[in-house]
A and B are shown apart, each in its own frame.
Chain A
């Protein structure tokens, strides 16, 4: 019996070391290499611009539409709660603070992971499976500088912009429902929002969050693609892992960042 328990613990330990800790170490070395190779990729910035188009611009529709609906739902739910306390004028504050502090970075990050992160993993994984990365290396071109780094920086640049647009669209959605549909006073909606939302404490912290999520999601996406086994099954598994790991990372990082940024408030 003791033998079997020990055996089980050994197997569990081996699994954790080989599949998690070892991979985390590998991912950290990969990030370091990518940062070192970023200078050559910046010299060809058109490559990063092209990836910003694929990762950022093509994500605009889903981000804007989701932002609008999240804002409209916040308007409805917020009004329903606030009106019970006779403070429906504070709807603008509720909608804007929820969005810029939390929902903007988090939901935009989750959408970005599903829309752009999965695409980045699948593309790099398929390039590896079809030997395009090996071909590049044989042509004396470093795929980390040429393929990986531009995608990484495109994600890092796009994510805060997408989160900001998500929040802006959400505020507009809240306005549509709260002011136009329900009839909350327009002056109170905007003026209370303006008075309550602090640039450094709320907006800047939201931007920092979305930047951190951008780094996390894109790092996971490029690493999973580069590390994917070069088979159809391998690429599909890597794509799934990107979405799952990124989503969990966003939620965990959000808790840590919120605890650091808003403690004592």
Chain B
């Protein structure tokens, strides 16, 4: 195994009950890179992210994070590894009964013995990094969607993780917040010396900021390459995805009986 890869996914297959979601997935994430996993909603990309974070266990195959097979770790070893992993959830998942400050301080208080004055400085530095030091005392209900996402980002980098997982970080954001989050993902990755995996279907934003792309469709990796290679690709479903064409290999209509028959049916 090459040591320059922080994450290696080998022949992973996963099913929910009897419905197979991922089929023989292989991918690697080199250290220090920002890698996107793109694909349509329901193609299994969030499931793959959860497998990498150890929240799900694959039916077959192996997922290595920092050299450890995450799907074979016991509870304590998994939690020890997770302290080095940060995850940004789709809608932030901030603790609604705590202020922004306490959300960011949460992991520091749980996992370290640092004195409160030290934690205060660290939290303010994290919030400063996402531009929300002034919002430290606000409750999550007082934050806009974009601000909540940034506070959640500050929380996920609280312990300076080696691996950052982003689950649909651009969903539901206005263009300015979207650009800010995109820049922060790149900037934080480079300044922390971390490695990032971004699961998204926001093509334009993702292609601007990532180093490498895996394109998934129906539970398989259909294409991989740099953003330039993605833009130049001739794979019809990928072209439809990248240029947002309404109809193509991915049909506009959900499978249904013939329209005329359906309308005139008794």
The residue of chain B having its C-beta at the shortest distance from the C-beta of A131 within the complex is: B93
Known: A130-B91, A131-B91, A132-B93. A140 touches B111 (CB 8 A): yes
Known: A138-B53, A139-B107, A139-B110. A131 touches B89 (CB 8 A): yes
12 pairs, CB–CB < 8 Å, chain A vs chain B: A130-B93, A131-B89, A131-B91, A132-B96, A135-B93, A137-B55, A137-B82, A138-B82, A138-B85, A138-B87, A140-B110, A141-B110
Interface size in chain A (residues, C-beta < 8 A): 11
Shortest Cβ gap from A60 to chain B (Å): 21
Shortest Cβ gap from B160 to chain A (Å): 14
The residue of chain B having its C-beta at the shortest distance from the C-beta of A50 within the complex is: B97
Which residues 137-165 of A have a CB within 8 angstroms of B? Answer: 137-142
Which residues 68-99 of B have a CB within 8 angstroms of A? Answer: 79-80, 82-83, 85, 87, 89-91, 93-96
Asked if B106 is an interface residue, CB under 8 A from chain A, the answer is: yes
Interface size class, chain B: 20 to 34
Q: Which residues of A contact B91 (CB under 8 A)?
A: 130-131
Query: When each residue 111-124 of chain B gets 1 if its CB lies under 8 Å from chain A and 0 otherwise, what string results?
Result: 10000000000000
Asked if A134 is an interface residue, CB under 8 A from chain B, the answer is: yes
In whole angstroms, how far apart are the Cα atoms of A19 and B53 in the complex? 31
Among B85, B91, B93, B107, chain A packs the most CB atoms within 10 A around the CB of B93
B90/A131 in contact, CB under 8 A: yes
Q: Which residues of B contact A132 (CB under 8 A)?
A: 93-96
Shortest Cβ gap from A131 to chain B (Å): 4
Closest 3 CB pairs of A and B: A131-B93, A135-B93, A140-B79
Shortest Cβ gap from A223 to chain B (Å): 20
A138/B110 in contact, CB under 8 A: no
Beyond the given pairs A134-B93, A138-B165, 19 more chain A to chain B contacts, judged by CB atoms under 8 angstroms and listed by A's residue number, are A130-B93, A130-B96, A131-B89, A131-B91, A132-B93, A132-B95, A135-B95, A137-B55, A138-B53, A138-B85, A139-B83, A139-B106, A140-B79, A140-B107, A140-B110, A140-B111, A141-B106, A141-B110, A142-B79
Q: Which residues of A contact B79 (CB under 8 A)?
A: 140, 142
Q: Which residues of A contact B90 (CB under 8 A)?
A: 131
Q: Which residues of B contact A141 (CB under 8 A)?
A: 106-107, 110
> A interface, by DSSP: helix, strand, loop or mixed?
loop
In whole angstroms, how far apart are the Cα atoms of A138 and B52 in the complex? 11
In whole angstroms, how far apart are the Cα atoms of A140 and B81 in the complex? 8
The residue of chain B having its C-beta at the shortest distance from the C-beta of A146 within the complex is: B110
A residues bordering B, Cβ < 8 Å?
A: 130-132, 134-135, 137-142
In whole angstroms, how far apart are the Cα atoms of A142 and B110 in the complex? 11
In whole angstroms, how far apart are the Cα atoms of A212 and B165 in the complex? 44
B89/A135 in contact, CB under 8 A: yes
B89/A134 in contact, CB under 8 A: yes
Q: Which residues of B contact A134 (CB under 8 A)?
A: 55, 89, 93
Shortest Cβ gap from A139 to chain B (Å): 5
Shortest Cβ gap from B35 to chain A (Å): 19
Q: Which residues of A contact B110 (CB under 8 A)?
A: 139-141
Q: Which residues of A contact B107 (CB under 8 A)?
A: 139-141
B55/A140 in contact, CB under 8 A: no
Q: Which residues of B contact A137 (CB under 8 A)?
A: 55, 82
The residue of chain B having its C-beta at the shortest distance from the C-beta of A147 within the complex is: B95
The residue of chain A having its C-beta at the shortest distance from the C-beta of B75 within the complex is: A142
B80/A138 in contact, CB under 8 A: no
The residue of chain B having its C-beta at the shortest distance from the C-beta of A136 within the complex is: B95
Q: Which residues of B contact A135 (CB under 8 A)?
A: 87, 89, 93, 95
Q: Which residues of A contact B93 (CB under 8 A)?
A: 130-132, 134-135
In whole angstroms, how far apart are the Cα atoms of A132 and B97 in the complex? 11
A140/B53 in contact, CB under 8 A: no
Shortest Cβ gap from A34 to chain B (Å): 15
In whole angstroms, how far apart are the Cα atoms of A132 and B98 in the complex? 12
The residue of chain A having its C-beta at the shortest distance from the C-beta of B85 within the complex is: A138
Shortest Cβ gap from B59 to chain A (Å): 21
Q: Which residues of A contact B111 (CB under 8 A)?
A: 140
Shortest Cβ gap from A235 to chain B (Å): 14
In whole angstroms, how far apart are the Cα atoms of A217 and B169 in the complex? 39
The residue of chain B having its C-beta at the shortest distance from the C-beta of A133 within the complex is: B93
Q: Which residues of A contact B95 (CB under 8 A)?
A: 132, 135
In whole angstroms, how far apart are the Cα atoms of A135 and B82 in the complex? 11
The residue of chain A having its C-beta at the shortest distance from the C-beta of B159 within the complex is: A139
B82/A140 in contact, CB under 8 A: yes
Shortest Cβ gap from B139 to chain A (Å): 14
